[in-house]
Structure 1
Amino acid sequence: MGSIAAAYDIVVHCNANKIRIPNVDPSGYSYINLLFDVTEKALSKISGNVNMIMQMRCEIPGKNCTMDVNDDYSVSEMFKIHQSKPVINLHVSDMEIIPVDEENNLVNPTTVNMQDTLVISKQNKKTVAIDVDISDDQYGDSSSDSSWRHNPYSDNEDELVLDRVSNDDSEESDTNFSDFEDNEMEIVVPDSESEEGDNSRRQLIRSKMWIYNLKDDIEFEKGQLFTNVDAFRAILKDYVIQKGFPLLRLKNERSRVTAICNAEGCQWRIHASPVADNITFQIKSYQSQHTCVMDKHCAEATSDWMAKKLVGVMRDHPNMTSKGVEAELRKYGVKPSKMQIFRAKNKALNEIEGTHAESYSKLPSYAELLRNNNPNSICKIHYDRPNLLIEPKFLRIFISFRAQKLGFLEGCRPFVGFDGCFLKGPFGGVLLTAVALDANNSIFPIAFAVIE
């Protein structure tokens, strides 16, 4: 057998369109790389609110058949079978999520009967039987998992009330969810070989997928779909803040989220878990009625949450006053304190502009880029690092560009001035600069430095 080619062209066939991904290097090319390239090139025009269970198959040279490409091993095999052909034909199709009744017929989403185990049933089209009964061990208990704390939707603040999550996994706790387990939706995933795709099914998926609209109040209903668990958690938090009631999360895991109103005697509760793709989240059970008194001073409205809501408007208005911040937050139905406004404003600005600490940490990379892309320039950084066990502390930096040196030598008067000023940032220091006079008696910078 010959060796694998140095580069391939992958022709993606999707929805009667052909998109070429050129010069793909097979060495180190994984399934994730393929997914990224296909999504970027072929699926970029598809709405991000419409989730897809994507299936990819490549043509086998010399045979009238295809092979599934669904992991790193199959990607490697795809390159091996195309050793003599630098062009790979890859067919991409989506497997949509379609509710069915007990007889496996399409039904109206408002009358669908739900069950805990999601079953892929056989219809006129070719389908695959899959058991997606998910155990907690597969995901682990994530009541305090990193995705809740570190993802873009997370809202953590040490000084405010944290999420109250019950970790009681006893038999008594599990019995509280027996009714949820009997009410989850059956779905069917058609085989991607069928190209007939009914428009009504696409409309069904789009109608159940959550689309955020700031002008409208958030309303939940059974059967709604969300892109992933993080999106559902974020929208749930927005809903709680909008309505103003205390939330208790009984289950807050990657495999299921169950929450109730923590007011005594209130019957409001919601339960959501993944569908067949193990990513898309769906509301499986929902009791919408509240019997408690709403309160706009909701503990869920932390300064982190407020900062996320301010980022968009403060990009356009970075000098927004505290009163403007308060007016913007009142659109979400919250009454922030002065301290929350101060913290949220600072966090939003840090998100937009970055922090001083982050900027100082990028100086070594900047110096390396300067040396590589602007030869004969000078960039020196001094650090204080007594030993290798201690993180280096920035002391001073000196920069002189090649153009500055040449300009001084070839077009400036034989005069050099020197001055400095104090920096008022959180780390202080002094900015020093050396200047000369050019032929027009204008100031010409030669070099500058920041010192302690």
Structure 2
Amino acid sequence: MEGIIAHDILVHYMGNTVRIPNVDPKNYQYIDLLGNVTDKAMNDLSENLNMLVHMKCAIPRTTGFMDISSDKSVLDMCKLHENDLVINLYLLHLDIIIPTTEENMVDYRNNQLIVAQKDIGIENTPIPVVDSEGDDEIYASSSDDSWKDDIDSDLEDVIAEDRTLISSSDKEENDLSDYKEIEDAQVVPDSESDQETDPMRSIMQSKMWTYNPREDIEFEKGMLFTNVDAFRAVLKDYAIQKGFPLVRLKNEKSRCTAKCGAEGCNWRIYASPVGDTITFMVKTYTPEHTCVMNRKNSEATSDWITKKLISVMRDHPEMTSKGVKAEMQKHGVLPSRMQIYRAKKKALEQIEGSHSEAYEKLPKYVELLRMHNPGSIMKIHYDRPNVLVEPKFLRLFVSFKAQRDGFLAGCRPFIGFDSCHLKGAFGGILLIVVALDGNNSLFPLAFAVVECENKEAWSWFFYYFQEFFGPFPANIPLTFMSDRQKGLNLAYEEQMPEATARYCCWHIYCNFKVKFPRLLLRRFFWQAAKSYDLIGHNETMERIKNINIDAWRYLANIPKCNWARHAFSVEIKCDHVTNNFTESFNA
């Protein structure tokens, strides 16, 4: 029977490290860990000073951490370290919990936190906190500019993630409705024993601000926030919610003072850290507003709108500008058209990633395709005039071995080529090749991305197409369907001269009707193209000649085998006169 590994827990706090030796993972609980941490790491602190301990454990062989706040998390920590002798535990920060009993009274007089302690012979021991608002100064002179809109707030990202979770579970009720309510916004403990062994949690929950999407934000004196960024984010949301101009008089990491910018309005708030911690507390607050709400708030920037849109646009990426405007009206905001455009663009970039990031990942993607699809072809062509210039993406060709094997084994030797423009920041042209299988169903063969559609790009495409699919046996009547545009025919006639050309009759007619627009000519043109016998074709051509001899000459100059159905090779067993099957795939 194998023995159980006993761990040593290294507790890191405030630059110091202490060891908790010989921890038995089978019999070790959260209350044991909390007691050991208190004895080893916090023995120099006053025994009557209430503290909230935040503990995180380093996950082995990664850069991640896990929260330690219950018996289950302690058990998970031991399981993760079952092959390790040492567990690294970090005390991130110690938050002072304001006592609420009569024995531990809080007095905010003279801007000091007075904690009455007993049994240690000290009366009214002051714990200094930064609580002086000082002289009113405009926030532009602040030494801490991290609150500005162009710098992301971690807390607002967390709020956005919370909204994502809430909104995804509320889809059936209303796709674009408000986010689902979190009952009382409380953390539910894993078990009753967790609640008993973590008494600090209930105290913190009663004072710590928690996001609730169904309730308006309301500040209270004594309300706690995890850090200054959390307070700033909530303050910004509150100003937008109430629709008033916010003036930040002090906006530093050590204190934040703000007031309503409307003349004569008395609303004002001041918050600063509790003791030596980073936890922020509202120290003074005047909640009365006497100004008029304004729905065009300068605080509602495109960055702020983006963070509110991300959770909704994950489920509705095709949301229109009207939809964005309606969503913002739920927050009491009327954004401009430019704000909506910028916010939508930023939200989609955060959800789907940017085009430039995608192109950077393209080489790795191609390498993975080669690794998992042996026998396939993936070619990237870079533009690099000289070694002093960074390589620039130019072209990409992709075709899978399964496509080649399927074409050679079960498809008609009839191939259509087409192209379309790519939307996005960098543009480009998508080239595709589609064949027909035995059931006349579409069978894609290859695709490429090129900078533009011309003979050079098509020649590059056909070079790799011939290399991968060829050489074709001489007994296969290979036929290419094309629209005769932008160098396509010239390219495959040079690269693959053995193939028979077939021209799309729709494109022929589009050019034909420019010179000969009569409706009767249109009818006779399609009769001539779709006729299954030579006699019917010639009779229709005579009718065209009698109506307009120039129209007859125009069609007679095009080889019959390229557009007239009666002249097609019977070996390929395909009577298509248009390239619609390729264009339908390209759509």
**Shorter-chain TM-score: which interval?**
0.5 to 0.7
Inter-CA distance 298–421: structure 2 relative to 1 (3 Å threshold) = closer
* Residue deviations 1:278-316 (CA, integer Å, cap 9, x gap): 443222222223344443322111122122222222333
Inter-CA distance 221–391: structure 2 relative to 1 (3 Å threshold) = farther
Partner of 1:113: 108
Inter-CA distance 269–385: structure 2 relative to 1 (3 Å threshold) = farther
Are residue 402 (structure 1) and residue 401 (structure 2) matched? yes
* Equivalent runs, 1:366-377 vs 2, <5 Å: 366-377=365-376
Partner of 1:335: 334
Partner of 1:359: 358
Partner of 1:188: none
Secondary structure class of the residue paired with 1:283:
strand
Partner of 2:449: 450
* Residue deviations 1:262-281 (CA, integer Å, cap 9, x gap): 33444332222333574432
Cα shift at 1:431 = 1.0
CA–CA separation in structure 2 for the residues paired with 1:278 and 1:395: 54
* Equivalent runs, 1:414-433 vs 2, <5 Å: 414-433=413-432
Partner of 2:36: none
* Residue deviations 1:71-125 (CA, integer Å, cap 9, x gap): xxxxxxxx9xx9xx84457889996642148x99434xxx643776779997779
Write the letter of the residue equivalent to 1:399: V
Are residue 15 (structure 1) and residue 30 (structure 2) matched? yes
Secondary structure class of the residue paired with 1:150:
coil
CA–CA separation in structure 2 for the residues paired with 1:119 and 1:450: 71
Write the letter of the residue equivalent to 2:250: K
Write the letter of the residue equivalent to 1:318: P
Write the letter of the residue equivalent to 2:213: L
Partner of 1:144: 145
Write the letter of the residue equivalent to 2:30: N
Could you tell me whether the CA contact under 8 Å between 1:435 and 1:447 is conserved in 2?
A: yes
Secondary structure class of the residue paired with 1:314:
helix
Identity of aligned residues (%): 53
Cα shift at 1:220 = 0.6
Partner of 1:272: 271
* Residue deviations 1:162-186 (CA, integer Å, cap 9, x gap): xxxxxxxxxxxxxxxxxxxxxxxxx
Partner of 2:301: 302
Could you tell me whether the CA contact under 8 Å between 1:14 and 1:91 is conserved in 2?
A: no
CA–CA separation in structure 1 for the residues paired with 2:249 and 2:388: 43
Write the letter of the residue equivalent to 2:66: T
CA–CA separation in structure 2 for the residues paired with 1:432 and 1:423: 10
Write the letter of the residue equivalent to 1:231: A
Inter-CA distance 33–228: structure 2 relative to 1 (3 Å threshold) = farther
Could you tell me whether the CA contact under 8 Å between 1:14 and 1:42 is conserved in 2?
A: no
CA–CA separation in structure 1 for the residues paired with 2:301 and 2:249: 20
Inter-CA distance 356–202: structure 2 relative to 1 (3 Å threshold) = closer
Partner of 1:39: 66
Partner of 2:178: none
Write the letter of the residue equivalent to 1:230: D
CA–CA separation in structure 1 for the residues paired with 2:116 and 2:384: 65
Greater alpha carbon shift after TM alignment, 8-17 vs 334-343: 8-17
* Equivalent runs, 1:307-326 vs 2, <5 Å: 307-326=306-325
Could you tell me whether the CA contact under 8 Å between 1:245 and 1:261 is conserved in 2?
A: yes
Write the letter of the residue equivalent to 1:443: L
Partner of 1:284: 283
Inter-CA distance 116–298: structure 2 relative to 1 (3 Å threshold) = same
Write the letter of the residue equivalent to 1:270: I
Write the letter of the residue equivalent to 1:331: K
Write the letter of the residue equivalent to 1:150: I
Partner of 1:171: none
Could you tell me whether the CA contact under 8 Å between 2:8 and 2:85 is conserved in 1?
A: yes
Could you tell me whether the CA contact under 8 Å between 1:382 and 1:397 is conserved in 2?
A: yes
RMSD: 4.8
Cα shift at 1:218 = 1.1
Write the letter of the residue equivalent to 2:150: R
Secondary structure class of the residue paired with 1:149:
coil
Greater alpha carbon shift after TM alignment, 8-17 vs 282-291: 8-17
What is the number of equivalent residue pairs in this alignment? 352
* Equivalent runs, 1:30-429 vs 2, <5 Å: 33=59, 39=66, 86-88=84-86, 97-100=96-99, 105-107=103-105, 112-113=107-108, 143-145=144-146, 149-152=150-153, 199=199, 201-275=200-274, 278-386=277-385, 391-429=390-428
Cα shift at 1:423 = 2.4
Greater alpha carbon shift after TM alignment, 336-345 vs 114-123: 114-123
CA–CA separation in structure 2 for the residues paired with 1:349 and 1:259: 33
Secondary structure class of the residue paired with 2:351:
helix
Secondary structure class of the residue paired with 1:284:
strand
CA–CA separation in structure 2 for the residues paired with 1:435 and 1:44: 60
Write the letter of the residue equivalent to 1:239: Y
CA–CA separation in structure 2 for the residues paired with 1:388 and 1:149: 37
CA–CA separation in structure 1 for the residues paired with 2:362 and 2:71: 35
* Residue deviations 1:9-52 (CA, integer Å, cap 9, x gap): 9959553699xxxxxxxxxxx97556976526876999xxxxxx
Inter-CA distance 265–421: structure 2 relative to 1 (3 Å threshold) = closer
Secondary structure class of the residue paired with 1:313:
helix
Write the letter of the residue equivalent to 1:418: F
CA–CA separation in structure 2 for the residues paired with 1:446 and 1:149: 46
Write the letter of the residue equivalent to 2:323: G
CA–CA separation in structure 2 for the residues paired with 1:282 and 1:318: 38
CA–CA separation in structure 1 for the residues paired with 2:403 and 2:435: 10
Cα shift at 1:148 = 5.8
Cα shift at 1:426 = 3.7
**Which has the larger helix fraction?**
2
Write the letter of the residue equivalent to 2:274: V
* TM-score normalised by structure 1 residue count: 0.62
Secondary structure class of the residue paired with 1:397:
strand
Cα shift at 1:239 = 0.5
Write the letter of the residue equivalent to 1:113: Y
CA–CA separation in structure 2 for the residues paired with 1:395 and 1:237: 45
Could you tell me whether the CA contact under 8 Å between 2:129 and 2:274 is conserved in 1?
A: no
CA–CA separation in structure 2 for the residues paired with 1:393 and 1:337: 37
Inter-CA distance 420–322: structure 2 relative to 1 (3 Å threshold) = closer
Could you tell me whether the CA contact under 8 Å between 2:129 and 2:273 is conserved in 1?
A: no
Inter-CA distance 381–276: structure 2 relative to 1 (3 Å threshold) = farther
Write the letter of the residue equivalent to 1:143: D
Cα shift at 1:249 = 1.7
* TM-score normalised by structure 2 residue count: 0.49
Question: Any unmatched runs of 5+ in structure 2?
Answer: 10-22, 34-55, 131-141, 157-194, 452-587
Write the letter of the residue equivalent to 2:444: P
Secondary structure class of the residue paired with 2:232:
helix
Secondary structure class of the residue paired with 2:240:
helix
Could you tell me whether the CA contact under 8 Å between 1:104 and 1:122 is conserved in 2?
A: no
Secondary structure class of the residue paired with 1:39:
strand
CA–CA separation in structure 1 for the residues paired with 2:224 and 2:68: 26
